[in-house]
Structure 1
Amino acid sequence: MSDAEVLLMVDDRPSSFTRYAARESAGRLVLLRFEVTRADLPEGYLRETAHLPAFWVREDAAPEAEAGRYREWAAGLPVAPSRFCNPSEPRQAAAQRFARLAGLPHLTERQVALVRDKAAMKACFRELGLRTAEFERVRSGAAIGRFAARHGWPVVLKPVDSFACVDTHRLDGPDDLAGIDLSARDWMVEAYLGGTEWEACALVVGGEVLDAWPSAMPCRPLDIVDGAMNANISVATGEGPPVDLRALVQRIVTGMGIDHGYAHMEFFLIDGEVCVGEIGMRLAGCEIPANHGHAYGFDVFGATLSVYLGRRPDLRYGDRRCAGDLLLPLPRSGTIRRITSREELLGMPGVIDAVLKVRAGDTVAARRASHNASGYAHVVGASVGEVESRMREVLARFTIEVAAREPAVLLA
């Protein structure tokens, strides 16, 4: 593929990847933004990316009409995009449909279903001969109770299209269903798995998995949303799971007919046997991709951009180590009174980078989600244990004070 090709990339929130692309790909990058997510794009970020052409998809217009309007708009650019990248999980269906209507490379409707509808995804895993947790689509508490009677409590309840553990719950018994509205979304229930939970990321070009990188999770995502340490550790030192991850991801992307992209997978290792959890065809959340770059000593974002531009990246690694992202707590909603500075964080053992998303005086809203954070720190070490120990020291020294909002006073 020619270096002159231009990439149309979905931009629904600031991220390390989108910022990298904005810096490194001027002249070869066009942004696709959805009006429905405008509030998620801060004014500072919009100014930061103002040098790039951006097409806004209107919320109240038909997709076909918006795609036609885009084609007319893109015809006026120096070079119209011929490649497409969607790094957003919640925008997956709308983004891939837009790419199809605009005549760009895209996931088919079936492929979108396989990487977004978790029940369809797990059924596909089983068709490919892979082990998964027992699962079932449900619409009522009674159905959940019947499932638990067959497979035992606890169970995990989640919307079929959830991400980042949003609206995902561990249920230890029927009483835990109180307050959960099962009428608003499509839900599924699955058996709770023991063992060790891992993650793996991979780059795919021309249907081939180039490599796969494992991540250890000191705490499970379902524990994270209830307050456990929120971290992922890329393992480039041979401490990863005894699994041929490249072959495992290859089996899945071949079975789903995936041609190219960044794959992010979660799986369990139970008594030496793999039990596949979920897979997404987009960049991993939090700072997991950056972890891989730090752990393997290579430009992970540059390699990812090459993949979406239709080129095969040269994965030349440097010195290997373990590197993780520690998400810094955001304990509750309110106004930030005090927070540990970036300079203080960089002075802690193993911290090579730190980003604070909030500062004193900001009003914040905490969410029950695995990406809920006031910022993050990248922590490195010679082993998973050393990185985890350093992360816990960072948490012990990190301070954030949030004053609860005062209740509104109604004036007569």
Structure 2
Amino acid sequence: MSAPPPVLLMADDRPTSFTRYAAENLPDNLVLLRFSNASKDLPETYLRQTAHLPAFWVREHVPLEEEAARYRAWADELPVPPSRFCNPSEPRQAVAQRFAGLAGLPHLTECQVRWVRDKEAMKQRFRELGLDTARYERVSTVAEVETFAELVGWPVVLKPVDSFACVDTFRISEPGALSAADLGTRTWLVEEHLQGTEWEVCALIHRGEVLDAWPSAMPCRPLDIVDGAMNANISVPTDEGPPFDLRAMLQRIATGMEIDHGYVHMEFFVVGDKVYASEIGVRLAGCEITANHGHAYGFDVFGATLDVYQGRRPGLEYTDRRCVGDLLLPLPDSGTVLRISSTEELLRLPGVIDAALHVSVGDQVAARRASHNASGYVHVAAGSIAEVEVRMRGVLDAFAIEVATPAHGAEAAKR
């Protein structure tokens, strides 16, 4: 008789397709780790949907050592306490991994967290492993940014060392564009703006081995997306993918960073015949990129991901090879949603195989400058990158959303 699957402790700070999948498919083998200072990001509907699962809340302003001790006593009262850990959250990487270590669960070390969160340490490690990167420098003043730009050429990219989803990431095109107030007291990384094509690649790692690598094309760069360009990623299991051994590149990184298991998501640039490593995260990809791979290759990608976090080797048996992308639907303003296209309307559009809306008429919404800002998403399938992109632009032409901003409401009241 085979041993029962281990119970997994999963950090849960916002609803995602992956956390919803885990809640549905591991009803007896999943425990949720939640943080009280993230409660605002967990809607009541999601809390009701996951109410059947045991959940431990880490209290704010309490030493993590005390909370881990309280967790261990709490977990001992469960039928089977968790023996494995999964953190799909990028911003909580440091605290979640430290908590897992204090709880006696498999986790990333403090050094590994620096490699996958601190962009300077990350790029330094890439270079130590023999990978090319854009030129970069840690900065804290406007003068340091401008001195660097004069060395490598304008424009440059400026980002906090621990940023994600392009939050507070900017392309600086000329001297005088920054002030000391813009930088505040944070620590920043400035880097060379690379030309060429930006790509993404995801992979699963089991016992230190990269099992496979799945590339994604980006019709528009993330820095253009946060300024209004089409927000999309396209999984490419065809010969249109970049002509490099991506699995070997990721294996070099996994070995060099001593990553034993997990899902990794990486961005890189192809400039001529060279690859430049950009950034890597040991967690699921943002937006709906992970789901793209499942649709494109025809396999249960979320189930395979849960396998590696439970210490099991997944069977990667693909049944399809087509290009499938996620298109994030725009959320143009903050305010009250007056009108939005329905999922039924979206599913009737050419190539759309799945659709979900995050907001409904009457909801209060807050738009923000981030690459995951959206009112919903669709998955679009076709035989090539170009055909998927054409169909995505058709979706954007057909999609309608109207948001009443506070200013709009004030004007309506005057009339």
Distance verdict in 2 for CA 1:179–1:227, change over 3 Å:
farther
| Aligned-residue offset at 1:321 | 0.3
Q: Which residue of 1 aligns with 2:400?
A: 399
Spell out structure 1 runs of 4+ moving beyond 6 A. none
Distance verdict in 2 for CA 1:165–1:180, change over 3 Å:
farther
Mapped partners of 2:171, 2:272: distance in 1: 22
Mapped partners of 1:276, 1:154: distance in 2: 19
Amino acid at match of 2:265: H
Mapped partners of 1:187, 1:398: distance in 2: 37
2:329–2:376 CA contact under 8 A, matched in 1: yes
Mapped partners of 2:4, 2:90: distance in 1: 27
TM-score (norm 2): 0.97
Amino acid at match of 1:339: I
Matched, 1:379 2:380: yes
| Map 1:309-328 → 2, pairs under 5 A | 309-328=310-329
Instruction: Give structure 1 stretches of 5+ with no counterpart.
Output: none
Mapped partners of 1:237, 1:132: distance in 2: 26
| Map 1:27-176 → 2, pairs under 5 A | 27-176=28-177
Amino acid at match of 2:47: L
Instruction: Give structure 2 stretches of 5+ with no counterpart.
Output: 411-415
| Aligned-residue offset at 1:180 | 5.2
Deviations 1:244-293 (A, max 9, x none): 01000000110011100000000000002100100000000000000000
Mapped partners of 2:347, 2:398: distance in 1: 12
Mapped partners of 1:406, 1:81: distance in 2: 50
Q: Which residue of 1 aligns with 2:18?
A: 17
| Aligned-residue offset at 1:239 | 1.0
Amino acid at match of 2:55: A
Mapped partners of 1:180, 1:239: distance in 2: 44
Mapped partners of 1:324, 1:239: distance in 2: 14
Amino acid at match of 1:63: L
Mapped partners of 2:405, 2:37: distance in 1: 29
Mapped partners of 1:3, 1:245: distance in 2: 34
* Deviates most, 163-172 or 177-186: 177-186
2:5–2:310 CA contact under 8 A, matched in 1: no
Distance verdict in 2 for CA 1:125–1:137, change over 3 Å:
same
Instruction: Give percent identity, aligned residues only.
Output: 70
Mapped partners of 1:294, 1:238: distance in 2: 17
How many residues align? The count is 409
Mapped partners of 2:408, 2:318: distance in 1: 54
Amino acid at match of 1:150: L
Mapped partners of 1:113, 1:90: distance in 2: 12
TM-score (norm 1): 0.98
2:120–2:161 CA contact under 8 A, matched in 1: yes
What is the CA RMSD across the aligned residues, in angstroms? 1.2
| Aligned-residue offset at 1:184 | 3.0
Amino acid at match of 1:117: D
Distance verdict in 2 for CA 1:408–1:399, change over 3 Å:
closer
Deviations 1:161-181 (A, max 9, x none): 000000000000123214853
Q: Which residue of 2 aligns with 1:183?
A: 184
Q: Secondary structure at the match of 1:177?
A: coil
Deviations 1:356-404 (A, max 9, x none): 1111111111000000000000000011111110000000111111111
Q: Which residue of 2 aligns with 1:389?
A: 390
Q: Which residue of 2 aligns with 1:26?
A: 27
Mapped partners of 1:355, 1:382: distance in 2: 23
| Map 1:349-388 → 2, pairs under 5 A | 349-388=350-389
Deviations 1:44-67 (A, max 9, x none): 000000000000000011000000
